[in-house]
Structure 1
Amino acid sequence: MEVISTVVQLAGGAVLTTLALAIIVIYFQPAYIVHFFLRLNKWRAGCTTKYVKVGEQQFAYMERGRPTKNQPSLLFLHGFSDRKETFCEMIMHLPKHLHVIAVDLPGHGDTGIKAKADLTVEAYAAKLHQFIGVVGLDHGPLHLIGHSMGGGLAGCYAASYPEKMWALTMICPGGIKVPENSVMFEKIFQGNRHVMIPETVEQAEEMFNICLYNKSLIPPKRALKGYVDYSRPYINFNKELFDAMLELGQDGLTPYLGKIAAPTQVIWGRHDKALHISGLDVIKRKVTASLQVDVIEECGHTIGLEAPKKAAALLLNFRETVVNK
């Protein structure tokens, strides 16, 4: 009994020590909060991180499942200043038999980028095409899914490489000059050019207020501090990329919409304050391919966080529609 008591005391001490260390780390190194949840969500989604050399550049991506003949693979492209793990919540709601890849785009997450690299959407599409070939996604038709900046890139890719496409899903896509400015662009035009690149907790809170309709999802201040600290190494590149996108006049995707041949789905949050939902009107006018439009009510820009189950269900419904055509 004395041995058991000693073991229990040691175990209790270990738990308390671990808890104390966790509190200390969170207080002094809040960025570890972000690292922890990135790894947790990736594990919950059943994905594995992998790395591959594309030319002279190393790409990081996560993968679940293997390609099959009957079900086209899904390739997810994240938005500006985001990373592959942003899709974990959606992937959790997709059937396990589907082959899924989500990639860190150049300059994001764990994928690097050369200094003075070409930051046009065409250059990103060409690099993405190389990645697709290296990881073997070019052996069969592809279902490409992109959010925000990644949605604009997905549309450009679909128009540029139609032979690779099975279906296209654009979620709140960027690169469309819309008839009505969003809250984000109003702030940009008022002089807050880098409103989406926070350097303080207050700026991070402002950014999340733009991205999220459901304000209860805005992280507490300590977690916001962790986000700011985590994002700090990316700030200079993010500013350079955002400036490059603004130079296009919000219009990087529009010229490609009429060239898309693959069946296309557009998902948008009704209350998106980053990219105005009136972009749908432009898409409906320009896209000549088969088009399915899905609007998620009471949802903002960050659909993968606010409505992952709904978005996954819409995605699967669209795939069924394409199969049955």
Structure 2
Amino acid sequence: MALRLTRTRTVALVAAVLVCAVAVWIWRDPMAPLRNGLALQGWWIDLSARQVVVGDHRWVYDTREADDPAAPTVVLVHGFTGGKENWYPLATRLHDRYRLVIPDLPGWGESQRIDGADYGFKAQAARLAAFLRAIRRDGSPIVLVGHSMGGGIVAITAAEQPDLVARVALIDAAGVRFADNAFGLEVLAGRNPFAVYDAASLQRYLDTVFHDRAAQPAIPWPASKAVIDWRIAQAPFEQQVLDRIGRSNERFLPGEMAASIRQPTLLLWCRQDRVIDPSAMALYAEKIPQALQVSLDGCGHMSIMEKPDDVAAAVARLIQQGNPR
């Protein structure tokens, strides 16, 4: 009986220590449980985490090999306030047909951020080109896919680096003077329409980027509080980047550079996009007349999460248009 009580007390003590350890872990890094949950999702779809130092930044990225070693490398570039995890629904559907490389851009997610560095379109495009050279394999063409801000970065990279990029996909891409909407007008007025500082603004943010609430990621408490606190801490950086890509003299550079894109290209927009108005697709198409244009209905800015089947089919169609270089 005494032995049983001792064992019970030992188990209780170990449990208490573990609870305290987890509490300290969360207190030191409130986003840690959420990040680990996302990492588990990546593991579940066979993605492997990697790191590489390119230039002055450490890049963190997910990758998965293709069944065919000669298959194209598909590089997926996220948007403003986003991260590599935004691409997981699409990565699932692209399956093992392509080698996938999904980075956090420098300054975002788990990749390195340097105080005072420029994270605008032009600077990030130069970094992306260097990253592509670092992960490129001889004989394997690169299909470069960008969403939102990432689309603007991809447009510049593809225009400047035709030797690196065999195919281009611009999805709900920033970088052109689209028709005025509430989001764009707030940016021009110096505000951050994506700012999050409480539960109501978090929901407003999700409602802005998603058309269908059923497609929004569930963020229950206490994860929601961690996200809110984290976004509050990120506000100065977000404002800095938005000043560069939304209000500086390079805000339309992606659209200007797009006229130099000669590669096969996909332009994809959702008709209910409240961030980058769908009129942007026609503006890009004027500069890239060879582009395949795909317009989806029933989704907003996050087409890659709301309509991953359709986006995956469009990307596959782009890749299958002849043999990538």
How many residue pairs match? The answer is: 315
Give the equivalent residue in structure 2 for 1:3.
none
Which deviates more from structure 2 when the two are superposed, residues 304-313 or residues 87-96? 304-313
1:210 to 208, 211, 214: 208
Give the equivalent residue in structure 2 for 1:200.
198
SS in structure 1 of the partner of residue 275 of structure 2:
coil
SS in structure 1 of the partner of residue 166 of structure 2:
strand
Unaligned runs of 5+ in 1: 1-8
Equivalents in 2 of 1:100, 1:302: separation in Å?
20
Unaligned runs of 5+ in 2: 1-7
Report how far residue 319 of structure 1 moved: 1.6
Equivalents in 2 of 1:196, 1:69: separation in Å?
40
Give the equivalent residue in structure 2 for 1:182.
181
Equivalents in 1 of 2:167, 2:324: separation in Å?
13
Give the equivalent residue in structure 1 for 2:144.
144
Equivalents in 2 of 1:126, 1:165: separation in Å?
13
Give the equivalent residue in structure 2 for 1:108.
108
Judged with a 3 Å threshold, the aligned counterparts in structure 2 of structure 1 residues 96 and 206 are, in CA distance, closer, same or farther, namely: same
Equivalents in 2 of 1:45, 1:176: separation in Å?
35
Give the equivalent residue in structure 2 for 1:257.
258
Q: Amino acid of the residue matched to residue 74 of structure 1?
A: V
Give the equivalent residue in structure 2 for 1:35.
35
Judged with a 3 Å threshold, the aligned counterparts in structure 2 of structure 1 residues 220 and 91 are, in CA distance, closer, same or farther, namely: closer
8 A Cα contact 2:83 2:104, kept in partner:
yes
Equivalents in 2 of 1:248, 1:150: separation in Å?
18
8 A Cα contact 1:34 1:230, kept in partner:
no
Structure 1 length-normalised TM = 0.85
8 A Cα contact 2:107 2:119, kept in partner:
no
Equivalents in 2 of 1:198, 1:169: separation in Å?
29
Report how far residue 34 of structure 1 moved: 2.7
Give the equivalent residue in structure 1 for 2:163.
163
Report how far residue 118 of structure 1 moved: 2.6
Give the equivalent residue in structure 2 for 1:280.
281
Aligned: 1:297 with 2:308: no
Q: Amino acid of the residue matched to residue 202 of structure 2?
A: A
Aligned: 1:86 with 2:86: yes
SS in structure 2 of the partner of residue 108 of structure 1:
coil
Deviation string 1:104-143 (CA, Å, 9 cap, x unpaired) is: 1110011113222133322211111111222234653210
Report how far residue 96 of structure 1 moved: 1.1
Which deviates more from structure 2 when the two are superposed, residues 163-172 or residues 111-120? 111-120
8 A Cα contact 1:211 1:302, kept in partner:
yes
Percent identity, please.
21
SS in structure 2 of the partner of residue 213 of structure 1:
coil
